Chain A
């Protein structure tokens, strides 16, 4: 299985801040990476797929980049609704595997 490692595990930030989360795959996954947002008591919600494609309805302040083994999710200007846990997931090969999550907390 491909291992996905996220960092940091948590980040404290203020509204308006630029937040960057990184994800590293244990082997080359090309652009086959997705990002999800999960709020407490809710199911994960797809934000980005294919490393940089924004899912329909997702605000443009979210963006993704990367290729191969290293990827980044950026929130350009953090909004109150963005405080949540974010997960990366490789979609290169079965089984799809997730990172451990990054919790974005209010500073």
Chain B
């Protein structure tokens, strides 16, 4: 059974970098044909896809966040990570990692989510 678990700090200061890791169990992160991605949810913006990375390492980003986001994979640890730079209060949200198919556009397995607040 595939399981995903997010980890990272629950509080980040404005202008700093938000860093999250998703640990995957029950499935090799290198296996085709899945992508791996991040989605966030807030009362203001609802569900918002952030970024995805394919099994071959290709990356995809939502345009509004592209300049601030990095997504990467550590196959040796079966993990993937998100970095969001220069955060503001608008980045406060519940962050989910997910396994994706259909070229990274459908999320079939989700982590439980981790809440990140941006505040000084």
A interface residues, Cβ below 8 angstroms from B: 1, 32, 34, 36, 42-46, 49-50, 55, 87, 89, 91-92, 94-98, 100-101
Contact = CB atoms under 8 A, between A and B. Distances in A.
Contact of B102 (A49, A87, A100): A49
A55 B102 CA distance: 13
Contacts of A34: 106-107
A91 B106 contact: yes
The 7 closest A-B pairs by CB, nearest first: A91-B105, A43-B110, A98-B47, A95-B62, A96-B49, A96-B105, A49-B106
**Chain A interface mostly helix, strand, loop or mixed?**
loop
Contacts of B102: 32, 49-50, 91
A26 B111 CA distance: 29
A1 B105 CA distance: 14
A94 B46 contact: no
B49 A43 contact: no
B100 to A, nearest CB: 9
Given A94-B60, A95-B63, A46 B49 contact: no
A50 B102 CA distance: 9
Interface string B104-116: 1111101111000
A44 B47 CA distance: 10
A89 B106 CA distance: 8
